[in-house]
Structure 1
């Protein structure tokens, strides 16, 4: 399978599909936010946000690093049917093992952390969502650069879950149904896309060597995903350990809106990841040029998004969330400052360092940023509350972006430089 030229219709349609996924992931739920924040009230909404935050961390235990490592392997070997079948079998077998480990971790969390036992139905529906979504085969379709149909199905499932909110959620006692709907709809989409994958790749039972090989191949990227979770997905749950659920609700609101802005940055790097991985082996100057263009564009978009979010926060928050969430304005303004940093780290990290094989350096930066975020949160939340948590996120994102820039510049690998190793 030969890659189509860039730019081209295949690339643009894949890009549109990935933007559709981002819209479904973050913007479709925004349609239900005005309803949920008013119906659930701050306490139930904040608790739901904290459990959702934890469920995304549990999800990473099943997804592992496969969204990157398996995508990279499929991109490299998509012209070799037998090798591709072994890759798929290994990843599926590894995910079965990881699911058991995730369920064990969920039981330990439930036993040790009192705040999750306050709403057991919400918690276990969050675990079910993590288990279902963790088996998504999207990594396969991304690796072969044919994501349109898989993305369309995923969007339909997420849209169905959002529609279900208006039908089945009517008060604080129904908070668990939000995650239950997401779990059921995710399971339907995953089952359908998995069937499509096996129509293209021969179905074979995974073997221990293949599953263990997949785990080894994805280990460094799992460490990366875990490090990212320490300063992205886990924030609301970490905040819940220190503050009441009603206070956490204000941070959840700001984080949802800030993440919606950040989501506009991800599809380009996500789509170019397998392409740059392929070009690194055959045309490195072209790979550098492609990454440099992406870096300039995404940084400009990030700065624009940050400026708009900062200026419009006092107008957006009351309209979207209603009364009782006034503290979300300041949190959103602070979090918006992280958007340009995310733009830089997405391109330099996901699109450039990983295709170059700089997994260890990349992981070191990400883990350091994650540890920095947790340390700052512990120090600042008690004194400054939501402002402290929001500030910790911005500092951590900034640290990651600057560290990547400095390393690549010193190594002569900065894609903007025409005098580096790639010319």
Structure 2
């Protein structure tokens, strides 16, 4: 349990950096670049990442799970790593050909060779992607340090290099370069730690097992990555800009929640292998309570503070995105709970096929809704499409989980009610603050601080939610240790 707590701390630091650093860059980017320029970058970024998903061949989730299982068997682990790396190189080579064909057909939507160069470079460097190894080995300290440092370097580069609207290609260059630095750093440490050899490897033996996870990553990428691409096909670059930054805000907030799954997942897989159902339920319950307790107030905050959020972080030219943000307000809860049902329950129990079934149905519906609603309502239609798709996927995932894992409790109604009660108090708090203060920046800062204070007080001292009490005890112990370190 102590390692779980330690990994959660590292993961929390990583998640905070994923939230905090973009909050420093987005206001600057949205004021220097135009919505059209941001739309161009969002389009090529989504386009590139989808081909990276194709090249990934389902290895990330599969590799993380298998490394977690073989962590105490070094010879088998090294053989596994070598085989999966070689398989990824082969799949990436085929993907590169598909990438070239796709670029030829959609060149009219790219029309800038500079961003294409960085897109291609990112794809090539990703041939040796191996993040799954470090996740499976639970090296969250390293992952956190590396990721935070690369993001800080990227943030500094944004402020130094981007000065005018025509610098949108530099913005994408920084995004791609930060990702490439992460990948190269991983390669250096992996080859230093593991004796990788491509001789006498049987990489083909993984293909039958990877087939399902590969299709999952491809189909999953339709809603996660291709949303910007589909919107650009039927609408303008400006519409992509409005939508991309709106969905980026809610996805950033979702990161705080969904990243906790990576901490619990290897441990859940380990206990399943040990056939310890009591410990499996304990891990699932803790993860579930964490998601519910923090996703509900985030959703309420995004909805109530959509206008000041857009004005402060995106600027006046992005005011049309306010409606999108309100439509997407419940996204953090829906997305994080979908991640929980699919990864922590279905995939951990080797039921990837059921998850894939839900993704296929959802993706077909999503593509239809995205093209139809975006054509009629542009960025607002895209926002409705992705929300409807998440709701449909949640219903399908929940059905499969209840059908196959009848011994597991996968929803905590008590914690959900606690979260709703606490978040409902945000309404009078925000209303009163907006009545008294006209300026958006003070409204945002005071509202966030006040709502956070009210929520913690209600959960920890009035309702006395069990999970919040655990967090309170951990926080008090940490404070006492720091006090003793500095003053004793």
- In the superposition, the TM-score normalised over structure 2's length comes to 0.79
For residues 295-331 of structure 1, the C-alpha deviation after alignment (integer angstroms, 9 at most, x for no partner) is 2331232222111101111111011111211111111
**Cα pair 2:345 2:401 within 8 Å, conserved:** no
**Could you tell me which residue of structure 1 aligns to residue 231 of structure 2?**
239
- The reply to whether residue 190 of structure 1 matches residue 192 of structure 2 is no
Which structure carries more helix by proportion? 2
Aligned to 1:78, the other structure's residue is in SS state coil
For residues 106-148 of structure 1, the C-alpha deviation after alignment (integer angstroms, 9 at most, x for no partner) is 2111111144332232233233234435633221111111221
**Could you tell me which residue of structure 2 aligns to residue 347 of structure 1?**
340
**Could you tell me which residue of structure 1 aligns to residue 265 of structure 2?**
273
The CA RMSD measured in Å over matched residues stands at 2.0
The Cα shift of 1:29 comes to: 2.9
- The reply to whether residue 413 of structure 1 matches residue 406 of structure 2 is yes
**Cα pair 2:63 2:84 within 8 Å, conserved:** yes
**Could you tell me which residue of structure 1 aligns to residue 37 of structure 2?**
44
With over 3 angstroms needed to count, the CA separation of the structure-2 counterparts of 1:90 and 1:23, relative to structure 1, is farther
Query: Runs (4+) of structure 1 moved beyond 6 Å?
Result: none
Match among 219, 225, 228 for residue 217 of structure 2: 225
- The reply to whether residue 177 of structure 1 matches residue 170 of structure 2 is yes
**Could you tell me which residue of structure 1 aligns to residue 377 of structure 2?**
384
- The reply to whether residue 79 of structure 1 matches residue 107 of structure 2 is no
With over 3 angstroms needed to count, the CA separation of the structure-2 counterparts of 1:207 and 1:60, relative to structure 1, is farther
- Tell me which moved more, 364-373 or 187-196: 187-196
- The reply to whether residue 397 of structure 1 matches residue 387 of structure 2 is no
CA distance in 1, matches of 2:321, 2:260: 29
Unmatched segments (≥5 aa) in structure 1: 1-5, 419-423
For residues 220-273 of structure 1, the C-alpha deviation after alignment (integer angstroms, 9 at most, x for no partner) is 112112222111222112111111111211101101101011111112211111
Aligned to 1:145, the other structure's residue is in SS state coil
- In the superposition, the TM-score normalised over structure 1's length comes to 0.91
The Cα shift of 1:26 comes to: 5.0
Match among 220, 245, 255 for residue 263 of structure 1: 255
**Cα pair 2:89 2:127 within 8 Å, conserved:** no
**Could you tell me which residue of structure 1 aligns to residue 158 of structure 2?**
165
Match among 97, 100, 104 for residue 97 of structure 2: 104
CA distance in 2, matches of 1:369, 1:411: 20
The Cα shift of 1:25 comes to: 4.2
Higher relative contact order (CA 8 A, sep 6+): 1
CA distance in 2, matches of 1:96, 1:412: 36
CA distance in 2, matches of 1:179, 1:42: 14
For residues 205-224 of structure 1, the C-alpha deviation after alignment (integer angstroms, 9 at most, x for no partner) is 255622x3344433211211
With over 3 angstroms needed to count, the CA separation of the structure-2 counterparts of 1:409 and 1:326, relative to structure 1, is same
- The reply to whether residue 252 of structure 1 matches residue 244 of structure 2 is yes
The within-5 A match list for 1:190-339 is: 190-205=183-198, 209-210=202-203, 212-282=204-274, 283-339=276-332
**Could you tell me which residue of structure 1 aligns to residue 133 of structure 2?**
140
With over 3 angstroms needed to count, the CA separation of the structure-2 counterparts of 1:86 and 1:80, relative to structure 1, is same
**Could you tell me which residue of structure 2 aligns to residue 17 of structure 1?**
10
With over 3 angstroms needed to count, the CA separation of the structure-2 counterparts of 1:168 and 1:207, relative to structure 1, is farther
**Cα pair 1:242 1:382 within 8 Å, conserved:** yes
The Cα shift of 1:412 comes to: 4.5
- Higher CA-based Rg: 2
CA distance in 1, matches of 2:90, 2:364: 27
**Cα pair 1:125 1:176 within 8 Å, conserved:** no
CA distance in 2, matches of 1:141, 1:170: 37
Aligned to 2:129, the other structure's residue is in SS state coil
CA distance in 2, matches of 1:341, 1:174: 35
With over 3 angstroms needed to count, the CA separation of the structure-2 counterparts of 1:315 and 1:414, relative to structure 1, is farther
The Cα shift of 1:349 comes to: 0.9
CA distance in 2, matches of 1:164, 1:231: 30
**Cα pair 2:51 2:95 within 8 Å, conserved:** yes
CA distance in 1, matches of 2:364, 2:295: 24
* Number of aligned residues: 410
Aligned to 2:311, the other structure's residue is in SS state helix
